Amino acid sequence: MRSATLIRLSVCAALFGSATLVAQSSPPQAQESNKAAAYYNFAMGHYYAELAGAYGNRGSYLDKAIEHYRAALKLDPGAGYILEELTEVYVQSNNLRAAVTEAEELLKQDPENLQARRMLGRIYTRLIGDTRQNAINDEMLRRSLEQYAIITQKEPDDVESWVTLGRLHRVGRNSVEARRAFQKAIELDAENEDALTGLAMVYSDVGDTKAMVETLNRVADKSPNLRTLTQLASAYEQMRDYAGAAEVLRKAVALSPDNPQLLKALAQSLLYSEQFDDALEIYQQLVEAEPKEAQWHVRLAEIYRYKRDYTKARASLTRAKELDRNSLEIRYDEVSLLEAEGKIDEALALMRSVLDDTAKTSYNESERSYRAMLVERLGVMYRSAHEYDKAVETFRQMAALAPETGPRGAVQVVDTYRASKSFDKAEAESRAALDKYPQDRVVKVVHATLLADLGRSDEGASMIRPLIDGERDREMYLTLAQIHEKGKNFGEMAKALDEAEKLSTSPADRETVVFMRGAMLERQKQYDRAEAEFRRVIELNPKNAGALNYLGYMLADRNVRLDEAKQLIVKALEIDPDNGAYLDSLGWAYFRLGRLDEAETYLLRSLDRTSGDPTVHDHLGDVYFEQGRLKDAIAQWQLSLKEWQASSKADTDANEIAKVTKKLESARVRLAKENSGAKR
């Protein structure tokens, strides 16, 4: 360190010596003499500034540096390099007021002195305050903006000043002017990293995450660095594009392989993007590095659960509990593991015990919100187990715990009544929620959707349209599409999907829109176009189980390419093996293939999970009929009709009801004949 200081000072000494020679050898002309003397004083100022830096900003050296810089500036007022270094010394000495006075004096002498304006602008910027603490001096911001506005007007090709102006407008939350300034800088220097990064942050401020990602990608492609890459990864996370975030974070880790925070962020993005093998490898590394950190064992348990390796998942959770016996997160994850294992009663018992063990006579604000979230989870579990009354009772507790969760609790009650096909109760609850929370968007959306269920899709759509106001418009267009689907208004549904697609910023967003378009086309019997859309989804995400299943079922239902249909549905079940709809699809494919025993097996498994689905009962009735089990077939078709009658008006399919009714009547006639023949 000492040697580096000596080197700097020797350089300054050389500079000082050369300046003295210049001053001594200058011609007699006054202008040249002034410049030589200015350079001499500049060299002396630089020399003392270096001494001050070497000796902890010693005041005597700073004073001498300022003295010489000021002398130099008087001799050569237009020398920008002198003013720049003088400004630095004023900043170094924390003598900002003197700097302002100096610059203002220079501007009185020459209003066109842009270097003096830059000096003022820089000092005012330093006096703005801490933007992170939101402690902004509005007057200093105004003055700084004023100086840089003049500078960019006088020197419109000054890229650095445009960038500074953009940053200042961003501090002042003027996104329009900030964007204009950064874009002007980019017009002058298309690859300017500061301008591109600044513009990306403006896009972030206004919620245009797609434009933010595109802009940051330009920076990352040109000169990848940790700051840009982490900002880009964060933008991808905001878009829920965790695969994109993981890809960027891999590059960041390559730049800084020993950075544990980057490695942890990468592991999380890999987990969220379902790249389980890669995530597993990193979490195993983290366990080796920090074996007593319970959260890494919890993450391993989650991955093993997703991979359906329940033995290893339980072993990891057990180790996590040994390390942190009081962690609610660990017990919460154990509930999820029990659910995945199909141990619903045990999962419910554990969830109740979590709530009982954490019950208190009073809670602070964060505790109330967290407890309301746990109560909501218990209600959802009751609903999934078809214990609807307990679910409703549980959801009603949310508002008492945390009033801000009242709208969400009310919506859950409505959805529970919808799930139990108690549509009168659902409507009554929905209207009550709308009266109590008239401004809540979710309450409005659920009521509009319920109206569509009740066959009043036009009313539902009219409630959604005013909500398309720039806030979460994509979600509103998707909701509008679903409402039009219930009303079989496919023309309007197509328009809503087109608008939603324009606002889709991530592959996952696009998957959803394309899938819904495929389902819409299938319902219109445009099978070739529907198939093309589902294949688009699968191209976007080969693990989209919904698209694999829908395409497979569509083929099987039409009795075409049955082997391919079966293979598609099997792939869907490999991804989600307990999905009742997928089990029904495979059962139906086996029926079409004439493999009746296998069809029965999968349809019965489907009914274990979706007992209220009229289509599954219909399919099982067809299997029993082909097996010659007329009584069993009649029982299933009766159940199918019962479920159709309980369905909402929007879900009721008159053609399907007519088909089931005809099969049921034919089977009854045939059974009666057989019974009559047997008696004779």
Question: What confidence tens digit (pLDDT) does each residue in 196-243 have?
Answer: 889 988 988 887 888 888 888 888 888 888 988 998 898 888 878 898
Q: Which residue has the tokens 């959802």?
A: 380
Question: What confidence tens digit (pLDDT) does each residue in 615-668 have?
Answer: 999 999 999 999 999 999 999 999 999 999 999 989 989 999 999 999 999 999
- pLDDT at position 605 over 90: yes
- pLDDT at position 13 over 50: no
Higher-pLDDT residue of 59 and 642 is: 642
Cα–Cα distance between 69 and 43 in angstroms, integer? 9
User: In this predicted structure, what is the pLDDT of residue 326?
Assistant: 86
What's 361's DSSP letter? S
Question: What confidence tens digit (pLDDT) does each residue in 476-524 have?
Answer: 999 999 999 999 999 999 999 999 999 987 788 899 999 999 999 999 9
User: In this predicted structure, what is the pLDDT of residue 397?
Assistant: 95
Mean per-residue pLDDT over the chain, rounded: 87
Of residues 146, 147, 128, 130, the one with CA closest to residue 138? 128
Q: What is the mean pLDDT of residues 545-569?
A: 97
Give 9's pLDDT tier (boundaries 50, 70, 90).
very low
Give 133's pLDDT tier (boundaries 50, 70, 90).
low
Of residues 146, 86, 143, 141, the one with CA closest to residue 115? 86
For residue 628, the one-letter residue type is G
Tokens of 62: 């700073």
What's 132's DSSP letter? T
User: In this predicted structure, what is the pLDDT of residue 94?
Assistant: 64
Question: What confidence tens digit (pLDDT) does each residue in 419-461 have?
Answer: 999 999 999 999 999 999 999 999 999 999 999 999 999 999 9
Higher-pLDDT residue of 380 and 45 is: 380
User: In this predicted structure, what is the pLDDT of residue 131?
Assistant: 60
User: In this predicted structure, what is the pLDDT of residue 17?
Assistant: 46
Please state, in angstroms and as integers, the Cα–Cα distance from residue 459 to each residue in 437, 443, 462, 483, 548, following that order: 19, 15, 5, 10, 34
Of residues 172, 180, 174, the one with CA closest to residue 131? 172
Cα–Cα distance between 240 and 269 in angstroms, integer? 10
What domains are defined for the chain?
Answer: 612-680 (1.25.40)
User: Which DSSP helix (H) or strand (E) runs through 129?
Assistant: strand 129-130
User: Which DSSP helix (H) or strand (E) runs through 136?
Assistant: strand 135-136
Single pTM value for the model: 0.72
Question: For a pLDDT cut of 90, what percent of the chain falls above it?
Answer: 61
For residue 490, the one-letter residue type is F
Question: What confidence tens digit (pLDDT) does each residue in 260-313 have?
Answer: 999 999 999 999 998 999 999 999 999 999 999 999 999 999 999 999 999 999
Give 26's pLDDT tier (boundaries 50, 70, 90).
very low
